[in-house]
Amino acid sequence: MRFSLLSFQEGGFDIVALTDGKTGTTVEIIPAHGALLHAFKVKQGNSTLNLIDSYKDTADMQQDLKNSFKNVKLSPYACRIKDASYSFNGKAYTLEKTIAPGNAIHGLLYNAPFKVTAQEADDTKAAVTLAYSYSQEDAGYPFAYDCTATYTLHPDNTLQITTTVTSKSDTVMPLMDGWHPYFSTGTPVDQLVLTFASKQIVEFDEKLIPTGKVLPFTEFRTGKGLKGVELDNSFVLDFSASQPLAVLRDPVKNISISFYPSEQYPILQVYIPPHRKSIAIENLSGAPNAFNNGLGLVELAPGASQRFDTRIKATV
């Protein structure tokens, strides 16, 4: 078979690897730590390049996880919820899982122990499905649900990431879904070029909480160099444009990473960390603080499911 799966241990992690035997492209996932995307390795000449800025080992992850939340599943919300509190259907809730009092960020599953529930490999693809059942562990989110994440490696260095959320609650539940991948080509961010199709930017206040307004924005539609550019912003994607809707290009190494989100991911969040060695490019179903401002908020009925899908393609 062209594609294969392999499980192994490295750096203290239990890793599942999907490999394209024809190209050598490999995707590595760490189920036990938030369904973490550990590696997206591609061949360039005689070299192997990991396009994911991930953790060296478990010690590195434990030290850094709550600072960067690199590469993990974001559910049942992404980004920030103002003061860790929200109201939904006439009831007030306060989240308990915070990185500091009143500071809720990036959901409840970023360190959840997902389990492998399915895997397959044949001549067309390799795929692994991970699952976690949330059982109202946080009093501030009393809505039970199942979250499955499927990574599928296709030909042409293409990784598909599909999330399905199924409500186990007896009431309607608020939901926002996303991922938090950090990308690196080994070239400093200041030498990269970013392009994305957007008509609007979400207006933030000084604490990076949306005001509830969106403003016109087209600055990156034809590509823009990132030298000196500071980004920690949410952009509304323009799905009337042709896919890919976002491209990160490294003109030094002649590498590009293209993003093909489904319409269930209308928000593109872009963050450049202070070290400027990598860049987070995130597909989100809603804007930060969606539980309060309603920007992209999904209201999932009891027993209903919602699918979120995106593809990432590397060109080397």
Residue 310 phi/psi, 5-degree rounding, is -150, 160
Q: Is the dihedral of CA 142, 133, 150, 53 positive or negative?
A: positive
Pairing of strands 232-237, 198-204: antiparallel
What is the distance between the alpha carbons of residues 76 and 17, in angstroms, rounded to a whole number? 26
Q: What is the pLDDT of residue 151?
A: 98
Closest CA to 158 of 230, 80, 231, 51: 51
Query: Which regions in the chain score pLDDT beneath 70?
Result: none
Helix-strand-coil split of the chain, %, nearest 5: 5, 50, 45
Amino acid at the residue 277: K
Scanning the chain, the segments in alpha helix (DSSP H) are 58-68, 290-293
Q: What is the pLDDT of residue 64?
A: 81
Scanning 102-152, the segments in alpha helix (DSSP H) are none
94 is written with which tokens? 């306060």
Instruction: Reduce the DSSP state of residue 69 to 3 states and report it.
Output: coil
